[in-house]
């Protein structure tokens, strides 16, 4: 059983939300908050960890979870909830709006000055959906492994601003709750449109997976529809690389 955190609570003031944060459980060390949330469930339960020993990212990659430096948390939803992959990066973007202007990189990375500060991993199992969010808050360049230093940064490294992790967590959860309520009220299109607009890829030339061409539109499931030399292609997974021209 992972160890519960005994130090003062991360979130100092109560959350005012409808779904997200029905319960907040903070662990000292855990394998992965996504694993715990998938196992435990409870609609809106938030699992936070000071440190993950097996944090994971998309495409089977590891997510480095240095203690005290970042925010590593997951929210469980007991029924299949569409649109979390759109809602989560928007929540992070909006929660940081008063501090710094972030960009969403399709599909759901959050960047400052072209470097990643946040990743999102949505997983589903047996009717339960979990959204896991990792945010680099206080990391210094040397806190990242060599191979990530050119591509990753933290809020503090990029802006010089030391923000309180608990306050940021509360703000992200509040923003996420707003979108989850909108989605459950049947307004997924509004969340999708906001996300698609923020990605800023329509009309851009890029390479993704083995496909190269100009993005025509983003389909309702989040896939890029790309005009390539071989015709229209749908790309659902992969890392995009922007190319010159349109």
How far are the Cα atoms of 3, 46, 77, 119, 142 from residue 122, in angstroms, in the given order?
24, 14, 11, 10, 28
Candidates 17, 20, 26, 33: give the one binding ligand BTN (CB under 6 A).
Answer: 33
Region of 33 on the Ramachandran plot (φ > 0 left; ψ -120 to 50 alpha; else beta): alpha
In angstroms, what is the minimal distance from the CB of 38 to ligand BTN? 10
Is 172 one of the binding residues for ligand BTN (CB under 6 A)? no
Two tokens at 28? 């000292």
Q: Which of residues 55-74 bind ligand BTN (CB under 6 A)?
A: 55-58, 61, 63, 72-74
How many chain residues interact with ligand BTN (CB under 6 A)?
Answer: 20
**The one among 120, 180, 199, 211 contacting ligand BTN by CB under 6 A:** 120
Q: Does 132 bind ligand BTN (CB under 6 A)?
A: yes
Per the DSSP assignment, residues forming a β-bridge with 241 are 207
Rounded to whole angstroms, the Cα distance separating 123 from 45 reads 15
**Contact call for residue 131 and ligand BTN (CB under 6 A):** no
Member of 34, 45, 129, 136 binding ligand BTN (CB under 6 A): 34
Scanning 30-38, 149-157, 200-208, 218-226 for contacts with ligand BTN by CB under 6 A, the matching segment is: 30-38
Q: Which is nearer to ligand BTN, 59 or 79 (CB)?
A: 59
Q: By CB under 6 A, tell whether 134 contacts ligand BTN.
A: yes
* Cα angle for residues 221, 154, 4 (degrees, 5° grid): 85
What is the b/e burial string over 148-180, where b = at least 16 CB atoms within 10 angstroms of the residue's CB?
beeebbbbbbbbeeebebbebbbbbbbbbbbbb
Q: How far is the CB of 189 from ligand BTN (least distance, A)?
A: 25
- CB of 120 or CB of 206, closer to ligand BTN: 120
The answer to whether 153 touches 119, Cβ cutoff 8 Å, is no
Q: Which is nearer to ligand BTN, 148 or 219 (CB)?
A: 148
Does 129 interact with ligand BTN (rule: CB under 6 A)? Answer: no
Write out the residues near ligand BTN by the rule CB under 6 A: 32-34, 52, 55-58, 61, 63, 72-74, 109, 119-121, 132-134
């Amino acid at each position: 059983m992972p160890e519960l955190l005994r130090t003062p609570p991360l979130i100092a003031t109560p959350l005012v939300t409808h779904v997200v944060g029905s319960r907040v459980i903070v662990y000292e060390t855990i394998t992965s908050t996504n694993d715990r949330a998938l196992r435990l469930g409870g609609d809106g339960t938030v699992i936070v960890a000071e440190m993950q020993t097996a944090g994971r990212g998309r495409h089977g990659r590891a997510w480095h979870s240095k203690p005290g430096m970042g925010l590593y948390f997951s929210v469980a939803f007991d029924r299949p909830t569409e649109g979390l992959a759109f809602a989560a990066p928007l929540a992070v973007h909006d929660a940081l709006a008063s501090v710094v202007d972030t960009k969403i990189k399709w599909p759901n990375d959050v960047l400052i000055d072209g470097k990643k500060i946040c990743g999102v991993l949505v997983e589903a199992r047996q009717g339960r959906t979990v959204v896991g969010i990792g945010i680099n808050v206080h990391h210094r360049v040397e806190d990242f492994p060599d191979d990530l230093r050119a591509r990753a940064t933290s809020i503090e490294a990029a802006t010089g601003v030391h923000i309180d992790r608990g306050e940021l967590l509360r703000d992200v959860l509040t923003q996420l709750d707003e979108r989850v309520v909108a989605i459950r009220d049947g307004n997924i299109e509004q969340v999708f449109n906001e996300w698609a607009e923020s990605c800023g890829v329509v009309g851009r030339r890029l390479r993704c997976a083995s496909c190269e061409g100009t993005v025509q539109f983003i389909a309702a499931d989040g896939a890029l529809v790309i005009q390539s030399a071989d015709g229209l292609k749908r790309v659902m997974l992969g890392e995009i690389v922007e190319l010159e021209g349109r």
